[in-house]
Amino acid sequence: MTTPLRIGFIPLADAAALIVAVDKGFAAAEGLDVTLVREVSWSNVRDKLNIGMFDAAHLLAPVAIASSLGLGHVKVPIVAPFNLGINGNAITVSPALHAAIMSEIEGDPFDPMATALALSRVVATRRKNGAEPLTFGMTFPFSTHNYQLRFWMAAGGVDPDEDVRLVVLPPPYMVDSLANGHVDAFCVGAPWNSVAVDLGVGHILHFVADILVRAVEKVLAVRQDWSEKNPQVLAALVRAHDRAADFIEQPQNRAEAARILGAPERIGIDAEVIRRTLDGRLKISPDGTIRESSRYLLVGREGAARPDPVQAAWLYAQMVRWGQTTISPEALKTAMAVFRPDLYDAALGREARAARAADAIGAFAGPAFDANDIAGHLAAFKIGHWKA
């Protein structure tokens, strides 16, 4: 007896656990007959999940929270029992902006405070010369890409709503837009940063792990009512994904995982480029400079797959900081309830882990994140557009 499920995904490297769970038979071993449906936009994934055309979905973590809060769309409570990817984004800038930042930089070019301060000087010079504001591309209003860009530039004194333009661009249009000068930089997930570097039109300025030590980007999302009606199926789904994440994280499986993910009906790009992403070994400059990071794209290692409500609280705080919603204790509670470590633990039969470090976010600027005092936390940042 197998349970048929339809799951929507966007062709990105952090759909890895979803794809491997199906294509390596881990889902079938749990009695699930999963059909993966490739989608072209986050709006489509969200809408099809919300109205029941999908049972589960690869979703931007902030979209799961926004949906539960009724922001930007109809209100549909979502639960996320499994993280699909941590730290897979990167910030890529055009060669011209890269040169401008490097000519202004004081200190380490991998230090986000140094680059953010350099960016603020570039912005000031452009304003003095009457140049157009710089334009930054990101993938969705409720996205970690949006918040990571904003967090970084604001730390250096650049107001993302006043000093530059932030625009939404579908990932497949990102590289073209950088090449033809419609944007000067973007923040996007793999493999698009690598594609820009390979084409010689961009430099990877930062892995987002430079900005936040640990930032969940995508989750496995289901409707709350569905999760309540189908607890066994959900647990089976979590187990299948846990096995898939374990498989992907084993170095000896990386070549096979990259091949599975690269298939035309899955992510549909060169397995070699996906391999670099899984290895955390990326070419960051058209001249061939390689940068390695053990913190790039965590799929399952270091407990990455287990949802952490503090991460949800941080994302909610960003929505408040940038004026997407107002601050309220009820909304914070709703946001935190989207991330469900209890469902993860129940599915895997594990005890909840011991308390982790005080700051689960690890941002390079500002005070350690405090989910119990979001207003106080946000007040410590000079730039922000929220009302108490």
Partner 1 sequence: MGAESSPKIVIVDESPIRAAILEEGLREAGFTGVTHISEMHNLLARIYSLDPDVILIDLENPSRDVLEQMFQVSRAVRRPIAMFVDQSDAASIQASVDAGVSAYIVDGLKKERIKPLLDLCISRFNAFSKLQGELDRAKSALEDRKVIDRAKGILMKLKGLTEEEAYVLLRSTAMREKKKIGEIAQSILTASEMLK
Residue 113 CB, nearest approach to partner 1 (Å): 27
Candidates 133, 172, 367, 376; binder of partner 1 (CB under 8 A) is 172
- Of residues 108 through 147, those in contact with partner 1 by CB under 8 A are 139-141
Total number of residues binding partner 1 (CB under 8 A)?
Answer: 29
* Nearest distance from C-beta of residue 237 to partner 1, angstroms: 23
Give CA–CA dist 35/21, Å, rounded.
11
Residues 211-270 that bind partner 1 (CB under 8 A): none
Q: Which residues are 267's β-sheet partners?
A: none
User: Does 42 contact partner 1 by CB under 8 A?
Assistant: yes
User: Cβ neighbours of residue 138 under 8 Å, at least 6 residues apart?
Assistant: 145, 146, 149, 166, 167, 168, 169, 186, 187, 188
Residue 275 Cβ vs partner 1, minimum distance, rounded to whole Å: 26
Binding mask 54-93 for partner 1 (x = CB under 8 A): ----------------x-xxxx------------------
Q: Which is nearer to partner 1, 191 or 307 (CB)?
A: 191
Which residue carries 């607890």 as its tokens?
231
Nearer to partner 1, 140 or 296 (CB): 140
- Contacting partner 1 (CB under 8 A), which of 96, 99, 131, 167? 167
Which pair of structure tokens corresponds to residue 176?
């073209």
Taking alpha carbons only, the member of 288, 124, 291 closest to residue 209 is 291
Nearer to partner 1, 10 or 209 (CB): 10
Q: Shortest distance, CB of residue 312 to partner 1, whole angstroms?
A: 19
* Residue numbers 310-329 binding partner 1 by CB under 8 A: 324
Q: What torsion, rounded to 10 degrees, do the Cα atoms 286, 134, 129, 117 define?
A: -80
If one asks whether residue 169 binds partner 1 (CB under 8 A), the answer comes out as yes
Whether 158 and 119 have beta carbons less than 8 Å apart is answered as yes
Using CB under 8 A, pick the residue from 25, 33, 35, 40 that binds partner 1.
40
CA angle 195, 201, 207 (to 5 degrees): 60
* Distances 286 to 79, 103, 283, 296 between C-alpha atoms, Å: 41, 18, 8, 20
In which element (H, E) is residue 232 found? Answer: helix 231-249
CB neighbourhood size of 229 (10 A): 10
Q: Using CB under 8 A as the criterion, which residues of the chain lie in contact with partner 1 when the complex forms? A: 40-44, 47-48, 50-53, 70, 72-75, 139-141, 161, 167-173, 182, 324
